[in-house]
Amino acid sequence: MCGIVGYIGTKNAVDIVYKGLQQLEYRGYDSAGIAAISGGELLLEKEEGKLINLEKHLSKFPTTQEIAIGHTRWATHGKPSRENAHPHATEMFALVHNGIIENYEEIKSELIKEGYRFQSETDTEVIVVLLQKLYDELKSIEGAIAKTFSRLEGAFSLGILAKDDPESMYLVKQGSPLVIGRGSGENYFGSDITTFAEVAKYAIFLNDGEWAKVTKDSIELWDHDGNAVKIKPTPINWTPGSADKHGYRHYMLKEIHEQPAVISKAITNFVEGNQLNSEALGVNALACEKITNISIVACGTAYIAGMLSKYFLEDLTSLPVNVDLASEFRYRKPHMLKEGKTLVIAVSQSGETADTLASIKHAKEAGCQIMSVCNVAYSSIDRESDSTLLMQAGPEIGVASTKAFTSQILCLYLWANAFSQRIGTLDQIGVEKMLEKLSSLPVHVNSAMNCEEGIHDIVNRFYEFPNFLYVGRGPSYPIALEGALKLKEISYIHAEGYASGELKHGPIALVDKHMPIVALAPKDDYYDKTISNIEEIKAREGLIIGVGDDQDQTLKRLCDAVIACPQVDNAAFQAILTTIPIQFLAYYIAVKRGTDVDQPRNLAKSVTVE
């Protein structure tokens, strides 16, 4: 995690770096810092807590500095504190780091034996101390950086300032993302392009093993062995999404409310008359006829979207579909991956999740085709994939994923239809029937929003309970997992999701009159069995919050409360509709409990460490 950013040019560098950090706060928000060179001095300010806490220190920098680097942290080694915040510095160098140095203990003990002292508990400080030591020995900044680079193991992107070279920023990339923004008479770097997309004309994405020297007018790039690397600039074609709350109290609430528009936009983007746009859906770039099995990899909410998609992917494609947590998949043996025949689908809102990215690389080594479903263009996962389905859901800023989740479900579903048509398991009539139902989805999503009003009574009754269970069958099972994940991450209430059929294999032991259970009960193929499970909960005095048809008298009779949800005759669309009530429920419970909804404790929007 963590975000790093830097600027060199003729403008107020600290100002620019601070604005860059605001863009990157989604990557971590437990402390932040900025270093600049001014008047031959290395200046450094850092602060614990949110980025806003750093603002009061900015006036301590002179307004004339033209070079600065900054960091916003998500703690890996050492608690969130001022001492552990970056940049870390020595007499000559200031350094910001995103990633993890796996051999830091070994290097640190060597340096301690040689008499070096450390101020922080971080893995990062060993880099800057080692750099200083090697500089003292070699008397060469570039030599010291190259040698330091060769000692480090792990994933890291580094931004470095050297006091004696105030005209240059030095960058190193291994594993963690790093991109240079080329302007005219000024240059930038950042963990992603959002920090400079509106001002720089070209992006230069560094590859693993590369390092760079950036002045305001030049960029030099080398590989790990010191050979010059030809620079390949990518023109930036960026339409900034709105990062405004538009009057909503939280980004999360705004993003929940954006779902009808996101769904409508997806229909515009991916449907042309009575056809699916297989180009925009990323089908055309794949050798579809060779594919014999599909493996989906993702983390968190994106994994749950993948899990859900298995229900309709198997049905539509008649191919075996595997769904894995990326953090597990990346270490599995590749026997399951068949060269040229397995399609690996990576699902990721941010496009930067370290485990998902590593899974793609793992699958590439096994010769698989790679497709991604991604919300961020130019992200690492987008660039690593043979084909990308860009969701175009607009920026998602609230840490808890909402509109990206429902968008992922719809995108995967439309992709599954287009792909199935390509391989011949779905005909044009099937596509047209589906499109007819799709055309009314925005209306249903809009009416699903109406549950917001009635939810406050339920929230008032249940927000103080310390535990919740969520249950569902078929495609409602992943939604139960998503409901529990949403609730726990923003309200800090302990919540678990279960397949309804699994209840009696253990979890039902938890059920008594103190346990609220959110039962997802759409009128689908599984409805009767779901109702039987709800009866079993009722018999044990569980407190049942049903999500389903509010005209459903059985549900009303069995449940302590019912959240209304429109009913449709399509499993993927129903899953989208069932999701909306559980998003509102989690959101309003968190608000009632007074937690930091958009930036919950210990989390970050983009998880760039494993």
Polymer length in residues for the chain: 610
Q: Quick one: 92 or 302, whose CB is closer to ligand F6R?
A: 302
Compute the distance between CA of residue 254 and CA of residue 248 in angstroms, rounded to an integer.
6
- Of the residues 2, 288, 368, 411, only one is catalytic, namely 2
Q: With binding defined as CB under 6 A, does residue 401 bind ligand F6R?
A: yes
What is the closest distance, in whole angstroms, from the C-beta atom of residue 606 to ligand F6R in the complex?
A: 6
Q: Which two three-digit tokens encode residue 221?
A: 């790039």
Q: Quick one: 317 or 608, whose CB is closer to ligand F6R?
A: 608
Instruction: Annotate 272-303 with b (16+ C-beta within 10 A) or e (fewer).
Output: eeeebbbebbbbebbebeebebbbbbbbbbbb
Treating both helix axes as pointing N-terminal to C-terminal, what angle do 403-423 and 428-439 enclose, rounded to 10 degrees?
160
What is the closest distance, in whole angstroms, from the C-beta atom of residue 5 to ligand F6R in the complex?
A: 19
Q: Quick one: 221 or 400, whose CB is closer to ligand F6R?
A: 400
Cβ–Cβ under 8 Å, residues 34 and 68: yes
Residues in the interface with ligand F6R (CB under 6 A) total 15
Q: Quick one: 8 or 252, whose CB is closer to ligand F6R?
A: 252
What is the closest distance, in whole angstroms, from the C-beta atom of residue 299 to ligand F6R in the complex?
A: 4
| Amino acid symbol at 95 | L
Cβ–Cβ under 8 Å, residues 220 and 211: no
Compute the distance between CA of residue 378 and CA of residue 351 in angstroms, rounded to an integer.
8
What is the closest distance, in whole angstroms, from the C-beta atom of residue 158 to ligand F6R in the complex?
A: 23
Q: With binding defined as CB under 6 A, does residue 302 bind ligand F6R?
A: yes
What does the per-residue mask of binding to ligand F6R show for 27-66, with x meaning CB under 6 A?
----------------------------------------
Q: With binding defined as CB under 6 A, does residue 299 bind ligand F6R?
A: yes
What is the closest distance, in whole angstroms, from the C-beta atom of residue 233 to ligand F6R in the complex?
A: 26
| Amino acid symbol at 245 | K
> Residue 354's closest CA among 157, 197, 204, 105?
157
Closest chain position to ligand F6R (CB): 300
The verdict on whether 201 is a catalytic residue reads no
Per CB under 6 A, the segment of 36-44, 255-263, 296-304, 414-422 that binds ligand F6R is 296-304
Phi first, then psi: what are they for 363, rounded to 5°?
Answer: -70, -35
Q: Which two three-digit tokens encode residue 373?
A: 């479903």
| Near ligand F6R in 482-521, by CB under 6 A | 485, 489
Compute the distance between CA of residue 141 and CA of residue 413 in angstroms, rounded to an integer.
53
Q: Quick one: 342 or 372, whose CB is closer to ligand F6R?
A: 372
What is the closest distance, in whole angstroms, from the C-beta atom of residue 153 to ligand F6R in the complex?
A: 25
Three-class secondary structure of residue 455 per DSSP: helix
Per CB under 6 A, the segment of 243-251, 271-279, 294-302, 532-540 that binds ligand F6R is 294-302
Q: DSSP states of 15-69 as a string?
A: HHHHHHHHHHGGG--SEEEEEEEETTEEEEEEEESSTHHHHTTGGGS-TT--EEE
Q: With binding defined as CB under 6 A, does residue 530 bind ligand F6R?
A: no
Compute the distance between CA of residue 518 and CA of residue 48 in angstroms, rounded to an integer.
38
Q: Which residues pair with 34 in a beta bridge?
A: 45, 70
Q: With binding defined as CB under 6 A, does residue 300 bind ligand F6R?
A: yes
- Chain CA centroid to CA 608, Å: 8
The verdict on whether 605 is a catalytic residue reads yes
- Chain CA centroid to CA 143, Å: 36
Q: Identify the residue among 146, 291, 397, 400 touching ligand F6R (CB under 6 A).
A: 400
What does the per-residue mask of binding to ligand F6R show for 333-362, with x meaning CB under 6 A?
---------------xxx--x--x------
Cβ–Cβ under 8 Å, residues 468 and 495: yes
Q: Identify the residue among 76, 301, 579, 583 touching ligand F6R (CB under 6 A).
A: 301
Catalytic positions, written as ranges = 2, 605
Q: Residues in the site for ligand F6R, rule: CB under 6 A?
A: 299-302, 348-350, 353, 356, 400-401, 485, 489, 606-607
